[in-house]
Structure 1
């Protein structure tokens, strides 16, 4: 009986270790799919490289030139076609993480970003949105379980914002403080926090 208890305790002690390594594996995969390849950016340009990152992780882009929306990585145009520029990003249910946000560097036409139900978007991602401070006018952050009010305060750098929609952010403990601070720093922005 004592041997059986020892084996049972040993097995139960293995379960958290297995879960932990399982999470680490997926975390590592997420980083690999989000990392910036500077050589690729130089080769294809910032908008194409950014679109590749977004599409590879399940997001969609809207092209400025023709208004078309692309959500299938395999449908990307060939490199011989004229370069297009990203106008909007819909990252709903995608696997993007802050490791990939530097892809926004050099994308000079993005005016809308939707971060909805992005499980890998954490606090470090929000300050990186300031890369888009000269063009971003519409931003939605909803159902992102790893975003706190501390990160949301960094949205004050997005002075061109006209509409900010926030919702279902369980790490945010004081919604009224967030609204108050952002309203002061972004007086021309319509802020909705549900």
Structure 2
């Protein structure tokens, strides 16, 4: 690009954008935008609607209380009186949800089930955030965590604060290195928990 006789190089050429590192950086930046919390939106439409928009924007699915159908289309979210649709289940399989967006979980009082599968941005801090969310401590009954490579024993142990959790399924979590110790901590703090493991 020429400007007043000076050459100004492009910020990022198409050739550079085609490299794996550049693509990862671009998608990481875009996913961070998707996860930015809009607190004004939460106040305007309520926590369930705002969280639904966040989850679908990031590629997750939601199911509302009293409905069998999973919502997967952002533009197909049902309309109606504010507060009518309450999130009962979240399937975040292969979604780009990340810690930055987890403030959307505050105020969700009806979530009974969460599935985190192949979520590259899920890490220990995300699980700690789930376990510290008061509304989820009361409502969450079932949690599935599969193939989330950044999850370690610390994140799993933090789940002991989910006092009403009835079922926990863990599979393909290479970051768990102290399986026996972690399981014993969970069993001691959550004696009624059904723990289903598929870990090496």
TM-score, normalized by length of structure 1? 0.85
Partner of 2:189: 185
Q: How does 1:1-194 map to 2 (within 5 A)?
A: 22-78=23-79, 83-130=84-131, 131=133, 132-194=136-198
Moved more, 76-85 or 64-73: 76-85
How big is each residue's C-alpha offset from its partner over 1:67-93, in whole Å with a ceiling of 9 and x where there is no partner?
A: 332111111123557620000001111
The runs of at least 4 aligned residues of structure 1 exceeding 6 Å deviation read none
Return the structure number with greater helix share. Answer: 1
Unaligned runs of 5+ in 2: 1-15
Partner of 2:10: none
User: Would you say how many aligned residue pairs link Structure 1 and Structure 2?
Assistant: 178
The answer on whether the counterparts of 2:48 and 2:83 sit within 8 Å (CA) in structure 1 is no
Unaligned runs of 5+ in 1: 1-14
Partner of 1:3: none
Partners of 1:45 and 1:51 lie apart in 2 by 10
The answer on whether the counterparts of 1:179 and 1:193 sit within 8 Å (CA) in structure 2 is no
TM-score, normalized by length of structure 2? 0.83
RMSD: 1.8
Partners of 2:172 and 2:151 lie apart in 1 by 10
The answer on whether the counterparts of 1:47 and 1:84 sit within 8 Å (CA) in structure 2 is yes
Secondary structure, counterpart of 1:124 in structure 2: helix
